[in-house]
Amino acid sequence: MQIEKISDTYHRITFSDGSQLFLVGTAHVSSSSVDQVRAAIEEEDPDTICIELDSGRLQSKQSSWQNQDIRKVFKEKKGFLLLANTALASFQKRLGAQTGISPGDELLGAVSLAKAKGIPISLCDRDIQTTFRRAWAKSGLWNKCKLLATLISTAFSDEKISEEDLEELKKQETLENMLNEMAKELPSIKEVLIDERDIYLATKMFTAPGRKKVGVIGAGHTKGILSALEKLDSGEKLKTTEELCEIPESGHLGTVMSFLIPLMIVALVVYGIVANGWSQGITTFLYWIAVNAGCTFIATAAALAHPLNILACSVTAPFFALNPVLGVGMLGGILEATFRKPKVKDFQDLNDDATVFRGWYRNRILHCLLVFFFSSLGSVIGTFVAFPLLIARI
């Protein structure tokens, strides 16, 4: 395989069988990227256009969650996935507002031009929800917390970025430094979001029909895709797309901890009864209820949940915390969506409202997520605060 580097964002690849792929690296909110993609397609006149999109994102660039019942999302335990997805979308929305480009306009422009010219397209990216689920499953508790904290802080960041800054981000050296920093802080996240998708995208483009293809990708994937394409062309075995779509089982430590903490709480209460009698045991259990319920009450009240929801979450949190299957956040999200049912306008304004702090309280969909997150956080804090207090009483 031969690689002709035209620039940091343009590469012409000639495979061993003589077929070619013209790879265009873009920034997803850059106006120049929109023009570059259009020019590349016009000049190359390819047999197939390969695009860094999956079918779900192509059908609805606004939100892949809009047609779902928000209560169903919580019941299926996808609340944290929706939270992460929304925070990321709001960040891209803000960047796009600064440059006058909607996130992914260059990808949608490639689709439109392909249809106008009658050129087949190949959607080469992995389903976004599969990517998030793999990232979540492969992350430990600390990395999950860092991921959510990073996404949420990024969503509300007021950092300004210019078109010149975006062009700088497309340079290979800048991108490598950024990815190396991500690998240090969140190695499992970088593996799923970047490395695995490099292989997935490369495989899909390599196997796409046509002797002459144009590939439109985010510039951050360029180096990884080129490396994967070389291996594929030489016959080296890589993970298949099917393997890259499998959702790994939760780590054993997380499973053990989900059962161990409730068992330890119950053990402390039972020990109090055996060692000091029923009165002391019941008092210990009431301490547990008071601390966990109190922390959950404060958290859900801070989220401005419906009064009945605040009461329900506070009362049930100490008992849900003892059950490794149930979670008070799931209850909080479902009840908030029941008491304050989202309206059509909430779906329409979802991405815009997600870019401002007030919008998370105003928009009923975002507010459900806020209640879900705060009630979960309150119960977790309550558990860790109560534990040493219970030990001290024995």
The single residue listed with the structure tokens 């009240």 is: 301
Residue 48: both structure tokens together: 């197939």
Q: How confident is the model at residue 326 (pLDDT cuts 50, 70, 90)?
A: low
Compare 138 and 39 and report the one with higher pLDDT. Answer: 39
pLDDT (tens digit per residue) in 214-235: 999 988 889 999 999 999 999 9
CB 313 within 8 A of CB 300: yes
pLDDT surpassing 60 at residue 168: no
Last residue of a domain, one of 205, 226, 245: 245
Percent of the chain clearing pLDDT 70 (strictly above): 72
CB 316 within 8 A of CB 328: yes
Residue 132, pLDDT score: 78
Q: What is the mean pLDDT of residues 20-26?
A: 92
The answer on 374 and 289 residing in a single domain is yes
The answer on 40 and 76 residing in a single domain is yes
The arrangement of strands across the sheet holding 48-51 comes to 2-5, 10-14, 20-26, 212-218, 48-51, 121-123
Q: What is the mean pLDDT of the chain?
A: 79
Residue 177, pLDDT score: 54
Query: What is the C-alpha to C-alpha distance for residues 358 and 191, in angstroms, rounded to an integer?
Result: 34
Q: Residue 13 in 3-state DSSP?
A: strand
Q: Residue 342 in 3-state DSSP?
A: coil
CB 46 within 8 A of CB 33: no
Query: What is the C-alpha to C-alpha distance for residues 321 and 302, in angstroms, rounded to an integer?
Result: 20
pLDDT (tens digit per residue) in 76-134: 766 666 666 666 666 555 555 554 455 567 788 889 899 999 999 999 999 877 887 88
Q: How confident is the model at residue 175 (pLDDT cuts 50, 70, 90)?
A: very low
Compare 98 and 1 and report the one with higher pLDDT. Answer: 1
Domain total in the chain: 2
Angle at 175 between CA 173 and CA 181, to 5 degrees: 105
pLDDT (tens digit per residue) in 350-364: 767 777 788 889 988
Residue 278: both structure tokens together: 């029923």
The answer on 62 and 38 residing in a single domain is yes
pLDDT surpassing 50 at residue 19: yes
The single residue listed with the structure tokens 């492969």 is: 138
pLDDT surpassing 80 at residue 75: no
The answer on 259 and 216 residing in a single domain is no
Residue 369: both structure tokens together: 């997520």
Of the candidate ranges 226-240, 250-264, 318-332, the one whose mean pLDDT is the lowest: 250-264
CB 80 within 8 A of CB 136: yes
Helix 364-393 / helix 252-276 crossing angle, nearest 10 deg: 50
The single residue listed with the structure tokens 């940091």 is: 8
Q: Comparing C-alpha atoms, which of 26, 225, 67, 193 is closest to residue 126?
A: 193
The answer on 293 and 208 residing in a single domain is no
State which H helix or E strand residue 24 sits in.
strand 20-26
Taking the C-alpha atoms of 293, 297, 299 and 304 in order, what is their torsion angle to the nearest 10 degrees? 160
The answer on 281 and 137 residing in a single domain is no
- The string of DSSP codes covering 176-244 is HHHHHHHHHH-HHHHIIIIIIHHHHHHHHHHHSS-SEEEEEEEGGGHHHHHHHHHHHHTT-----TTGG
The answer on 97 and 49 residing in a single domain is yes
The answer on 37 and 158 residing in a single domain is yes
The answer on 227 and 143 residing in a single domain is yes
Q: Comparing C-alpha atoms, which of 53, 40, 31 is closest to residue 97?
A: 31
Residue 393, pLDDT score: 65
> What's the N-to-C CA distance of the chain in angstroms?
70
Last residue of a domain, one of 245, 272, 305: 245
Residue 155, pLDDT score: 54
Q: How confident is the model at residue 262 (pLDDT cuts 50, 70, 90)?
A: confident
CB 47 within 8 A of CB 210: yes
pLDDT (tens digit per residue) in 186-195: 677 788 888 9
Q: What is the mean pLDDT of residues 50-70?
A: 67
Surface-to-core class of residue 306, CB atoms within 10 Å of its CB (0-12 exposed, 13-18 middle, 19+ buried): middle
What domain range includes position 337?
Answer: 252-393
Looking at residue 67, what DSSP letter applies? Answer: T
Q: How confident is the model at residue 14 (pLDDT cuts 50, 70, 90)?
A: very high
The answer on 382 and 237 residing in a single domain is no
Residue 64, pLDDT score: 46
Query: What is the C-alpha to C-alpha distance for residues 171 and 169, in angstroms, rounded to an integer?
Result: 5
Last residue of a domain, one of 245, 270, 297: 245
Compare 160 and 282 and report the one with higher pLDDT. Answer: 282
Q: Residue 132 in 3-state DSSP?
A: helix
Residue 258, pLDDT score: 61
The answer on 77 and 205 residing in a single domain is yes
Q: What is the mean pLDDT of residues 382-387?
A: 83
pLDDT surpassing 70 at residue 384: yes
pLDDT surpassing 50 at residue 210: yes
Q: Residue 10 in 3-state DSSP?
A: strand
pLDDT (tens digit per residue) in 285-309: 888 889 999 999 999 999 999 999 9
Q: Cα 2 from chain centroid?
A: 35
The answer on 11 and 48 residing in a single domain is yes
Of the candidate ranges 140-154, 165-179, 265-279, 317-331, the one whose mean pLDDT is the lowest: 165-179
Query: What is the C-alpha to C-alpha distance for residues 236 and 240, in angstroms, rounded to an integer?
Result: 12
pLDDT surpassing 90 at residue 284: no
Q: Comparing C-alpha atoms, which of 337, 327, 336 is closest to residue 301?
A: 336
CB 164 within 8 A of CB 221: no
Q: How confident is the model at residue 154 (pLDDT cuts 50, 70, 90)?
A: low
Residue 62, pLDDT score: 40
Q: Cα 184 from chain centroid?
A: 19
